[in-house]
Amino acid sequence: MNRQMYEDHLELLARGWLAEIDGDIVGFAYADKINSSVWALFI
């Protein structure tokens, strides 16, 4: 998978969220829209 394919996937086929505390990013998650699975969850 090249960079463009990865960026396209994130923008078109995934949904992401950030967790912030006092303006600092402390976690994030991405879910796949096609199969409704969470494929990244970092705290």
pLDDT (tens digit per residue) in 15-32:
999 999 999 999 999 998
Q: What is the mean pLDDT of the chain?
A: 90
Q: Which DSSP category does 1 fall into?
A: -
* pTM of the predicted protein model: 0.65
- Check residue 20 and give its pLDDT: 98
CA atoms within 13 A on the CB side of 8: 5
Give strand pairing partners of 31: 15, 38
Question: In the chain, what percentage of residues exceed pLDDT 90?
Answer: 44
Split at pLDDT 50, 70, 90, the class of 36 is confident
Strands (E), 1-43: 14-21, 24-32, 37-42
Residue 15 to residue 13: CA distance in whole angstroms = 7
Number of structural domains in the chain: 1
Domain that holds residue 28: 3-42
